[in-house]
Amino acid sequence: MDVLVTGAHGLIGSALIPRLRAEGHRVVRLVRDDPEGSDDVRWDPSAGTIDASGLDGVDAVVHLAGAGIGDKKWTPARKQLILDSRTRGTELLARTLAGLARPPRVLLSGSAVGYYGDRGAEELTEASRPGDDFPARVCVAWEAATFAAEEAGIRVVHLRTGIVLAAHGGALQRMVLPFRLGLGGRIGSGEQYMSWVALDDHVGAMVHLLGDDSMRGAVNLTAPRPATNAEFTRALGAALHRPTALPTPLLPLKVIYGGELVDALLVHGQRALPRALEHSGYRFEHAQLDDALRAVLAAPAAA
């Protein structure tokens, strides 16, 4: 297949591309900077421009682009950027794909388990209702932005991604240093659920979804056994052979990142279950948290 990928330099995109190439697929990257080769296509979501001719005839699209949601304090301007970077880019891409003479068969489009909001211990499947906090509203609008592609008959899958475990990026990389120093601990009550997935499984699931024509709509990209924050803390401490007795102080985090971000991303949680993915026949490499952490931390990139 010829597969178009956005967000190619991100944590997930940079792992997906070599996997696709290893399986014999041609990868076309949608890039904002000047193209580096013949398989790069230029776009500028903020300006609403895209080189449509470079998209015509691709078989599949994986859309992962979007501003980081946990990188900076959620000022009004930052929140608008987070929303716009997802909805404007997705609307532009979906509209362009819908208008091609030879549109792709499938579009995998990013989303997140933040769609469900703060739901405590409630088991959440793809049929569960959305939440009403900022991340939930972003995800609802993000998924709705693929409308033009769906109307054109393209099979669209919304990737409701959990916390991706990778030692060289994402949330786990930020946790490892304080845990190695013996400073890691539960956050808040520790009862909030963390829906996680190993990077290898996230990539494997996307490849699976590209090839399964029966899959469309929302798909929870999470491992089948979400952990509470307290369970995750103990498992990471055990994997690093470090104590985790002291809770993580929230006040310094709220000073740096703001209370809304800290509450939404660290204190609140979702217990999302990958029902659609499991029913489709996907088999996880890392279904258990202890195994996933050991495998991720032992990877060469973790050194």
Which own/partner pairs from 78-86 qualify as long-range (CB within 8 Å, at least 24 positions apart)?
A: 79/134, 82/138, 83/137, 83/138, 83/141, 84/46, 85/45, 86/110, 86/138, 86/141, 86/142, 86/145
pLDDT at 299 exceeding the cut of 80: no
pLDDT of residue 31 exceeding 60: yes
The pLDDT tens digits for 40-91 are 999 999 899 999 999 999 999 999 999 999 889 999 999 999 999 999 999 9
CA 74 from chain centre, in angstroms, equals 19
pLDDT band at 302 (very low <50, low <70, confident <90, very high): very low
Q: Report whether pLDDT(205) > 80.
A: yes
Do 136 and 116 contact (CB within 8 A), yes or no? yes
pLDDT at 300: 63
3-class secondary-structure state, position 228: strand
- The pLDDT, as a whole number, for residue 303 is 36
Structural domains counted in the chain? 1
CATH of the domain at 173: 3.40.50.720
List the domain range (segments joined by +) for residue 140.
Answer: 2-302
What is the rounded (10 degree) CA torsion for 147, 270, 63, 137? Answer: 40
Residue 157: strand, helix, or coil: strand
Model confidence over 125-163: pLDDT tens digits? Answer: 999 999 999 999 999 999 999 999 999 999 999 999 999
How many CB atoms are located within 10 Å of the residue 301 CB?
13
pTM for this entry: 0.94
Mean pLDDT of 192-208: 97
